[in-house]
Amino acid sequence: MRGERGAGTVAALGLGLAIVAVFLLAVPLYVALAARHAVTGAADAAALAAADAASGLVPGHPCDLAARVAAANGASVEDCAVDGLVATVTVGRTVLGLAVSERASAGPAGSAPD
* 77 in Cβ contact with 63 (< 8 Å): yes
Question: Which residue has better confidence, 39 or 110?
Answer: 39
**pLDDT value at 114 more than 60:** no
| Segment of 1-5, 26-30, 71-75 carrying the highest mean pLDDT | 71-75
Residue 97 lies in a domain: yes
Name the packing angle between helices 7-55 and 62-72 (round to 10°). Answer: 150
The answer to whether position 113 is within a domain reads no
Number of domains in the chain: 1
pLDDT tens, position by position, 55-67: 999 999 999 999 9
Q: pLDDT at position 109, please?
A: 81
- Judge whether 100 lies within some domain: yes
Inside any domain, residue 82: yes
Across 92-113, average pLDDT: 86
Tell whether 78 is covered by a domain.
yes
Give domain status of residue 41, yes or no: yes
pLDDT score of 14: 93
CA distance 52 to 46: 10
Q: Is residue 64 part of a domain?
A: yes
Q: What is the mean pLDDT of the chain?
A: 90
Range(s) of the domain holding residue 75: 2-106
Of 48, 114, 60, nearest in space to 85 by CA: 48
Q: Of 6 and 8, which is predicted with more confidence?
A: 8
pTM above 0.85, yes or no: no
Q: What is the pLDDT of residue 32?
A: 86
Average pLDDT over residues 75-96: 94
Residue 6 backbone dihedrals phi, psi, to 5 degrees: 90, -5
